[in-house]
Structure 1
Amino acid sequence: MNSKVIIIGTTASGILGFRKDIIKSLTASGHKVYAFAINYTDEQKAQVVQLGAIPEEYTLNRTGMNPLADLLATLRLAKKINKIKPDLVFSYFSKPVIFGTLAARLAGVKKIFGMLEGLGYTFTNQPEGLSKKAKLLQSVQILLYKLSFRFLDKVIFLNPDDPKDLVIKNNIKVKKFAVLGGIGLDLKQYPYIKPSQKAVSFIFIGRLLKEKGINEFITAAKLVKVIYPDVIFTVLGGLDEGNPGGLQKNDIELLVSTGVIDYLGQVTNVAERIAQASVFVLPSYREGVPRSTQEAMAIGRPVITTDMPGCRETVVDGVNGFLVKPWDPQALAEKMIYFIENPDQIETMGLESYRMAQEKFDAEKVNKKLMGLLGL
């Protein structure tokens, strides 16, 4: 039987960037899909309509912790949901899962699901330990999860560490939880491209934040360049200068002017840039299952990443790349040097990455599994 399905996310760009494939799968199966986001432009609404879904705007304070504002936003969202009278509500990301779930419950929705694509920085270990602010925010989040999770038919995680660290460790009552294993990619957009036989190069993709491992990447690049000065280290990703762990513009300018890295900022041709590099590097402190790593694997690049939640789901150590300890630029540099000195392993391990991506990260397979978890 075809159902009315509401998907609740945060930004419109997030709906179009990360939920496009599941929306297409749902609409192709005959379900009526309403895509809720907080800041649609007319062009983005038109794109959602092209996918066969109905765009809906709602209000959510993405980062603030104002209980009254959140309560009012939840009541307004419940009213919007009640008008549609959906058979199922599916929220993703922390605040939509919390407040979307509560709103769906208030609206009397029978089937309510949530997906957490990672636990966020409040659950991300730091070399110096969690700050007092992060510990406080984590306590508030746990309280809100305890309040909302009881109304979920199922909580979906991307990796097996997240439910252990959130649900089991904090004794949060849930009816069911499941592990999806990654959000999947349209593999046609990331075809295998044989790596260049020329000089070995490394690429980092992510927001330029401490917890993404950008500092370790830069330090490792400096260590490698002492021995191999001509090796290229490319960085893609946006600055977040307001974030206490974010690199500043003048930091980047100095690194570029001294030849440590090539910085390309945010680009639209990510697949092309990955294809130009030899090895993908993400020394992150914690992830859901990183999309950028999945993209690099699909294109056929070996991966160096940390042995941390989410990251370790993408690498079989010594097969398609290497797992290193977090916060250890020396270990990272050693694995980079391994590829410089054993360039034949780039194609060999890259082909293993490609094989794993076909098996684990094909959007068609992932969406079939996700629809099964949602009972659709």
Structure 2
Amino acid sequence: MKIAVIGGYGPSLVNFRGPMLRAMKEAGHEVCGIAPLDSPDVPEKLAAMGIEFIAVPIRRKGMNPLRDMASLMALTGILRRHKPDVVLSYTIKPVIYGSLAARLAGVQNIFSMITGLGYAFGQTSGKRALLFKLVKNMYRTALYFNKGVMFQNPDDRNMFMELGIIPGGKDTVVTNGSGVDMDYFTSSPLNDVTPVFLCISRLLREKGVREFAEAAMSLKRKYPDAEFRLVGPHDPGPDSISAEEVARWQDAGIECPGPVEDVREELAGCTVYVLPSYREGTPRSVLEAMSTGRAIVTTDAPGCRETVMEGSNGYKVPTRDVAELEKAIERFILRPDLARTMGEASLEYAAEKYDVNKVNTTIMNFMGL
């Protein structure tokens, strides 16, 4: 079959979907990746895997009707010219406009992957109610034409069904995230000298980075030798953390080095991985930390809660609760042995549930590939 995979960010085709694209190629299918040309090396990296790259103008943020209509028409033209047998889209705009474009182009086998609900679903009343209703209705229209819809956690699937976004009888599956390449994110020994607590995230409020910083500043006053690292880029938008606030965290002893090229060095240097997010599809950074043998502290929130077996490979805390987050982190300072035993449990759990090869098998079986 000829398969077109549509994403909203070019490098994600390599970094996040690379193993899936390779699996499709190895199964004998012809595969092309469609996304904005956000990075000039994406076409070359995909070509090395035998996958064609096609650039398309999709703006990840904002709801400009004229630009979004242009994206829809560009996608429709691409799909009409290339005539894929199957279209798979992931992230919000590619799912909506990719599904509609595939329908307009006459593609019969249309699939979508809901990788998280994002800012529009973070608050369904008040100031963001109009945005929520708009995106909900756009999802409902686009997914009507899908043969099947994949979710990364059961909470998101349940919400789409309760809201009537997914029509009755529509085929769905929970894939356990995008999986983690355990040959790339390999286990590494723990630092036994200084406890290092790491959070890797875009600097957004709904990722829980403010709660991480507040808990870290409090613990830093009690345990000056403990280290706290918040690694990730500034992400402009309504949910963004200001540069001034990040500077205050740094003045209080929190290390905020910005984005890094390869997170494996950061994971190898940490003792425990922390992600206090309000909601995720399935957080890749947590899976990568588990694959390297790290204990996890995260929230009892959709997408996050499935990654932790409470008291076995880590702890779950309520969202937005700095005090409970601080207590969970402090357990590893008071009992250094927990990081080792829970890290071993994380590694076993990742291999059992989140290995990318198992996840890709689920995806390809669901799509009939």
Match of 2:158 in 1: 164
2:131 is aligned with what amino acid?
L
Equivalent position amino acid for 1:349 in 2:
M
Residue 194 of structure 1 contacts residue 347 of structure 1 at CA under 8 Å; is this kept in 2?
no
2:166 paired with 1:185: no
The answer (yes or no) to whether the contact 2:279–2:301 under 8 Å persists in 1 is: yes
Question: What TM-score, normalized to structure 2?
Answer: 0.96
Does structure 2 retain, via aligned residues, the 8 Å contact 1:40–1:57?
Answer: no
Counterpart code for 2:301: M
8 Å CA contact 1:184–1:363 kept in 2: the answer is yes
Match of 1:233 in 2: 228
2:79/2:102 contact within 8 Å kept: yes
Could you tell me which amino acid in structure 2 is paired with residue 12 of structure 1? G
Q: Kindly tell me: are residues 317 and 177 of structure 1, through their superposed partners in 2, closer, same or farther at Cα, counting changes over 3 Å?
A: same
Asked whether the equivalents of residues 294 and 361 of structure 1 are also in contact (C-alpha less than 8 Å), the reply is: yes
Per-residue deviation, 1:171? 5.2
TM-fit CA distance, 1:234: 0.8
Contact 1:4-1:33 within 8 A present in 2 as well = yes
Paired letter, 2:90: Y
Equivalences, count = 368
Task: Report if the CA contact (8 A) 2:11-2:39 is conserved.
Answer: no
Instruction: Return the letter of the residue paired with 1:25.
Output: A
Query: In the TM superposition, what whole-angstrom CA distance separates every residue of 1:153-189 from its partner, at most 9, and x where no partner exists?
Result: 0010000000111232335415211111110121111
Corresponding residue for residue 17 of structure 1: 15
- In structure 2, give the amino acid aligned to 1:185: V
Which among 191, 198, 207 is matched to residue 202 of structure 2? 207
Over 4 Å off, 4+ runs = none
| Aligned equivalent of 1:154, options 141, 148, 157 | 148
For the pair 1:266 / 2:259, whether they are aligned, the reply is yes
Unaligned runs of 5+ in 2: none
CA distance in 2, matches of 1:120, 1:40: 20
SS in 1 for 2:110: strand
Identity of aligned residues (%): 38
2:231, 2:256 within 8 Å by CA — same for their partners in 1? yes
Deviations 1:256-296 (A, max 9, x none): 2332x111211123111111111100000000000000011
2:270 equivalent among 230, 253, 277:
277
Residue 289 (structure 2) pairs with residue 290 (structure 1): no
For 1:331-342, what aligned pairs fall within 5 Å after superposition? Answer: 331-342=324-335
Instruction: Work out whether residues 142 and 170 of structure 1, in 8 Å CA contact, stay in contact via their aligned partners in 2.
Output: no
Which residue number corresponds to residue 320 of structure 1? 313
Asked if the contact 1:223–1:330 (Cα under 8 Å) also holds between the matched residues in 2, the reply is: no
1:254, distance to aligned residue in structure 2 (A): 2.7
* Alpha-carbon shift at residue 233 of structure 1 (Å): 0.5
Deviates more, 1:104-113 or 1:56-65: 56-65
Cα 1:55–1:147, aligned 2, differ >3 Å: closer, same or farther?
same
Is 1:137 paired with 2:135?
A: no
- CA shift digits 1:98-139 (9 cap, x unpaired): 1111111111111000001011122125xxxx5634211110
CA distance in 1, matches of 2:202, 2:180: 20
Report which stretch shifted further, 57-66 or 95-104.
57-66
Distance 1:373 1:296 in 2: 27
Structure 2 counterpart SS, 1:7: strand
Distance 1:236 1:68 in 2: 35
Q: Does 1:374 align with 2:363?
A: no
* Alignment correspondent of 1:26: 24
> What is the TM-score when the length of structure 1 is the normalising length?
0.94
The 1:374–1:171 alpha-carbon spacing in structure 2 relative to 1, beyond 3 Å, is closer
- TM-fit CA distance, 1:40: 5.4
Question: For structure 1, which runs of at least 5 residues remain unmatched after alignment?
Answer: none
1:343 aligns with 2:336: yes
Match of 2:167 in 1: 173
* Cα offset, 1:11, TM superposition: 1.7
- AA in 1 matched with 2:179: G
Aligned to 1:61: 59
Give the letter aligned to residue 324 of structure 1.
Answer: V
Secondary structure of the residue aligned to 2:113 is: strand
Asked if 2 retains the 8 angstrom alpha-carbon contact of 1:203 and 1:233, the reply is yes
**What's the Cα RMSD here?**
1.5
How big is each residue's C-alpha offset from its partner over 1:5-52, in whole Å with a ceiling of 9 and x where there is no partner? 000111211111111111111111111001101125553211111111
The residue identity in structure 2 corresponding to 1:268 is E
Tell me the secondary structure at the aligned position of residue 102 of structure 1: helix
Residue type of the alignment partner of 1:284: S
Q: 1:68 to 1:248 in 2, by over 3 A?
A: closer
Question: Residue 253 of structure 1 corresponds to which residue in structure 2?
Answer: 247
Task: For residue 183 of structure 2, give the secondary structure of its aligned residue in structure 1.
Answer: helix
Q: Distance in 2 between matches of 1:168 and 1:333?
A: 34
Compared with structure 1, are the counterparts of its residues 226 and 285 closer, same or farther at alpha carbon in structure 2 (3 Å cutoff)? same
Task: Report the 3-state secondary structure (helix = DSSP H, G, I; strand = E; otherwise coil) of the residue aligned with 2:45.
Answer: helix
Distance 1:171 1:89, change over 3 A: closer
Q: 1:223–1:40: structure 2 CA closer, same or farther, 3 Å change rule?
A: closer
**Deviation at 1:93?**
0.6
